[in-house]
Amino acid sequence: MEQTDKIFIAGHRGLVGSAIQRNLHKKGFNNIVTRGREQMDLCDQSAVFRFLQDERPDYVVVAAAKVGGI
């Protein structure tokens, strides 16, 4: 993985996703793309495909989950 690669992190606001994002930033990866649930419903396959076609990320990290809280 190169530092210039575009990385999409699904679930960037959660415990795991936010840790991954922080770690990548710390290592110099700055081309990170995120979308909150207000912007894109990950359960909507058409919306996800459109997003992936538009953004063309080199890597996709899926850290999203449906949780009930701690």
Does residue 47 lie in a domain region? yes
Q: Looking up tokens 């959660």, which residue turns up?
A: 14
Does residue 70 lie in a domain region? no
pLDDT, tens digit, 9 for 90 and up, residues 13-38: 999 999 999 999 999 999 999 999 89
Rounded alpha-carbon distances, angstroms, from residue 33 to 63, 69, 70: 13, 25, 27
Domain coverage including residue 35: 7-62
Does residue 67 lie in a domain region? no
Does residue 11 lie in a domain region? yes
Taking only Cα atoms into account, the Rg of the chain, rounded to an integer number of angstroms, comes to 12
Does residue 2 lie in a domain region? no
Contacts of 48 (CB under 8 A, 6+ apart): 40, 42
How many domains are contained in the chain? 1
Single pTM value for the model: 0.88
Does residue 68 lie in a domain region? no
Q: How confident is the model at residue 65 (pLDDT cuts 50, 70, 90)?
A: confident
